[in-house]
Structures are given as structure tokens and as C-alpha cells.
Amino acid sequence: MSQLPAHCHVLVIGGGAAGLCAAIAARRRGAEVVLVDHAAVEWRGGNTRHARNFRVVHDMPDDYAPGSYPVAAFCADLARVAPDGDATLTQLLAESSATLVPWLQAQGVRMQRRGRGTMPWSQRTVFFAGGGKAAADTLYATAQQIGATIIHDAEACGLRVEGNQVGAVELIHRGQRATITAEVVIAGCGGHQANRDWLRDSFGPAADSIHVRGIGTVRGRLLRAMMDAGAATVGDERRGHIVAVDARGPEVDGGIVTRLECIPYGIVVDRNGRRFADEGGDTKRTHYARWGERLLAAPGQFAYAILDDDGIHRASPTAFAPIRAHRVDQLARELGLDPQTLTTTVDDYNRAIVAADPTSPTAWRTSGLSPDKTSQAWPIVQPPFAAFPLRPGITFTHFGVAVDPSLRVQRQDGTRFDNLLAAGMVMAANVLPRGYLAGLGVTIGAAFGRLAGEEAARHVGR
């Protein structure tokens, strides 16, 4: 493993898509690059390890995406979910995404061709062949092959600032304190979603029940150091991309496979066996994000999705098998719920279903319940009955440092750091202060990471 040098041209902090693309872009332009990653080598790749696809602009069909997805449509989609995002940076992100596929391919990353992979192809996103883990491993191999120095087990924990310049970065490397100076520093790390104390400050005691979907080293120590050094912030610490996950999954690093998308095909009950929200109010593929927020507000941050055998067959495959029983009261006992309460909940739901159009079950709804299910109100009658335990799972927080169009970190006094840039989720709130779009996380990391690396190389005269 490489030793930590005392100085370099460009110091990149973070080992996910943002850091890797920044390091490769700067190195390809001739800069001496050191990338430090808090994670051990076996956990490298950040949340990119769990990614599947990324959002890209394209003018015509190609081998990886059908149709077209122009810059204007990309910007409109992002403005719809995050109307308060920075329009200039959103435009920059959309335009940069147009060349992201060929650029990544030039670094050795392979994409899934249309109709030849396990994932369904999409007009707005491109899927990695082999997933995000394969892409990250390839980018690491490329970075090392072209001469970038990679240091693992190195957490950036402090900045030494002189005026508008970062003079040095303080690290903890293999348990020892160290310092490295660089002409340019790129913060390509994530936010603070794995910092349980910080989450408690944001979400209160409910934070103890949140599963962290990504790697556990994203604790926000560099983010805090930048704030302490006067960096301006954007977004809201009390807001995050929180989704419904299987409560049986790991509390940290469960990834995308623990996400549950079965809710529209059944009902959801709290730990008292009663429904508390409209399962049919949002049946798009992004419904799981709405349910993350609802679970965070539910008693004990816990609930169960209840389905029958027909509902299970409609739902997507899951990492964990459902809990099954041949009668609803038996299922309740398996779950530790009151059998009479759950039976009454299911019976009341079934009786309230209004099948206005017998040929279109997706339009079925309930009437007279509180709350009603407003669409896809299929009856729960076909045994065996099934349940999935639900918890809220956080992907990232909508909070980070403010940057200008050159990706330099802005200061609270209206100036900027001359040699401190940021890319990836540590600055994502500039364009995504709320909501989410499929595949956007990797695009923010890879596109802004590449731009930050190129800007860093220009700064050092390369």
C-alpha cells in the first residue's frame, strides 16, 4: 500500500465516483495526484458500490439508452423535484452528463447494452455492466495505472487555512495523525449520513432507528472542518433522501437490495396493527422515498407491509423472503401483533374496496376508511399471507457546502476558497436541496468530479 506523501499538486479526498473521477481527470492532465479514502481497501468505492445506473443527456438512441433526453428535459426534471436548486449548476450538470458515458468508457468502465443485461433499459439513465462495484473497481485500477497515488484508511479531519487558501489537510492515517500539503484540495467525499450523533441533532431520537444504506465511514468530519473554516453551506440538515428498507437488513451498508418496492400491492400497518397512510397515493417507482419519511414519523419508526400471495407475485424480487402464514391471525402472531386488530384491519380494508372498473384493478380504491387507499386497492384474500418489516433507510442528507460554477467552495463572507473545490454528495445540495431523481447521485459525483479534477489541473498550471 502506498505511503502518505508530505506534498502533492492535487489532493483528492473521497473514494467514490466523485473522488475517483476527479483524481483521474487531474492526473490525465499531468497533475501529481494523491487520493485519500477513509475506508479500508476492501470497502472502497463509497456509495457508488451500491449504484446501478446514472442519469445522462443524449440527443438520439444509442447502444445504452433508447429515445432522447435533451438538456432542457434534464433541467426540467431536476427543477420539478428541487425547484430551489441552483439553475446555473443544474445546467452545468446536465451539459456535462452528455459526454459522461464516453469519458467513463475511456477509463475502462463498461455499460450494459440495451436488451442484453439484467436491468431494464431506461430513456434517462444508463446502467453499469456489473453494477457500481465493477465500475468503482475499474476506476481504481485506471487511477493507479496512470500514476495516481491511492491511500486508504486515511480520514481527513481538519484544514489549516491561511486567508482564502487551504495550506494543509490534517488526517488520521492508520490511527496516526498526519499532515499533507497540496496546491489544490478537492473534497470528493460524502456528507454526514453515517454520523449518528449528527443525525440525532437533525432528526431527534428517531435517528437511532434509521438504517444507513451506504458505507459507514461517511461521517462528515471534513464537512464539519470546512464549516469551521468558514465555508458557506446549502440545504437543510433536517432533510435527507430516506426510503423504506427491510428492517432485517444491516443497519449500515445494506445498499440498494434492502429497498422495498412492494407497498402499492398491499397495505402498511404500524406496530399496533393499524394503517396510517395511503398506500395508493403514489405508485410510481419512487414511492419508496415517500414511505421513508412516513416511517420516520411512525411510532418506533417501524411498520409492516402486508400482502397476499397475489400481491407478492406482483411485487419485485426482494433480498429477504417475506414472513408468511396461511391465515391473517397466524401472520399477526408471527409478527408479534394483536391477531384481532390485524384481522380487523385487513377485513375492513377488503370490505371498503370499490371496484369501479372491473377490468382495471389499478383504478380500484377504498371508500370510508381513514385513510383511504386511492388506487391499486387489490383485495388481500389469497393465502398464504405475507409481511415485510419496514424501517427508514437514509442514502444521503440534503446538506453540504456551497460552490460556484468553478466548483470552488464559497465562504460565509461572500468570498471563496482559491484552492478548495468540492464535488459529489458533499456539495449535491446545490442542485438537489430536496427530493431525488433515479441515477442522479452517480451523475453528480462523476460529472462534477471530472470537472473539479480538470479545474484543479488548470489551477496548478497543467
The predicted pLDDT at position 341 comes to 98
Each residue's pLDDT tens digit, 299-318: 999 999 999 999 999 998 89
**How many DSSP H helices and E strands does the chain contain?**
12, 18
Record the cell numbers describing residue 200, joined without a space: 440525532
SS3 per residue for 349-370 = HHHCEECCCCCCHHHCEECCCC
The predicted pLDDT at position 283 comes to 67
> Count of CB atoms within 10 A of residue 7's CB?
13
Spatial CA neighbour of 391 closest among 224, 293, 245, 204: 245
The predicted pLDDT at position 361 comes to 78
The predicted pLDDT at position 121 comes to 74
Task: Report residues of the chain scoring pLDDT below 70.
Answer: 1-2, 117-119, 283, 285-286
Q: 183 — phi, psi (to 5°)?
A: -70, -30
The predicted pLDDT at position 406 comes to 98
The predicted pLDDT at position 203 comes to 95
Each residue's pLDDT tens digit, 156-173: 999 999 999 999 999 999
The predicted pLDDT at position 159 comes to 98
> DSSP for 125-140?
EEEBTTHHHHHHHHHH
pTM over 0.85: yes
The predicted pLDDT at position 130 comes to 93
Spatial CA neighbour of 14 closest among 233, 235, 237, 217: 217
The predicted pLDDT at position 282 comes to 76
Please classify residue 115 by burial: count the beta carbons closer than 10 Å to its beta carbon, then call 0-12 exposed, 13-18 middle and 19+ buried: exposed
Query: What residues have CB less than 8 Å from 175, skipping those under 6 apart?
Result: none
Specify the 3-state DSSP secondary structure of 411: strand
Hey, what domains does the chain have and what are their CATH numbers? Answer: 7-232+402-459 (3.50.50.60), 242-392 (3.90.700.10)
Specify the 3-state DSSP secondary structure of 4: coil
Strands 385-401 vs 323-325: parallel, antiparallel or unpaired: antiparallel
Instruction: Write the CA distances from 178 to 7, 14, 441, 446, integer angstroms.
Output: 12, 17, 31, 28
Q: Which residue has the cell 428492517?
A: 247
Specify the 3-state DSSP secondary structure of 122: coil
Q: Which residue has the cell 473522488?
A: 19
